[in-house]
Amino acid sequence: MRRKKPSDDAPVGFSAHLEYLFHITCKECGFYWTYAAMQKGFDIQKRAYNCPNCGHNGKIELEDEVQP
Ligand SMILES: [Zn+2]
């Protein structure tokens, strides 16, 4: 017999929205930061960005998803 988890009977108490979070590393200084988008098809490679640490300007190359 399956034991009931305490959360099975819990009422809905929260709402949430899915966010896509890009992890960006500067090729110039190695600084790491994140960029959040709410649209599934958001194209991070479309425009140039500036590194918040060193100011380096350039486009972003999107790599493959990290596998767990
Ligand atoms: Zn940088």
Examine the pLDDT at 3 and tell me if it is beyond 70.
no
Q: How far is the CA of 65 from the centre of ligand 1 (A)?
A: 22
Better pLDDT: 53 or 1:
53
Q: How far is the CA of 9 from the centre of ligand 1 (A)?
A: 49
Give a yes or no: residue 27 inside a domain. yes
State residue 51's pLDDT score. Answer: 98
Give a yes or no: residue 50 inside a domain. yes
CA 47, chain centre distance (Å): 17
Domain count, the chain: 1
Q: How far is the CA of 59 from the centre of ligand 1 (A)?
A: 12
Q: How far is the CA of 41 from the centre of ligand 1 (A)?
A: 26
Per-residue pLDDT reduced to its tens digit, 7-46: 778 999 999 999 999 999 999 999 999 999 999 999 999 9
Q: How far is the CA of 14 from the centre of ligand 1 (A)?
A: 38
At residue 68 the predicted structure's pLDDT band, cuts being 50, 70 and 90, is confident
Give a yes or no: residue 1 inside a domain. no
Instruction: Determine the structural domain holding residue 40 and report its residue range.
Output: 18-68
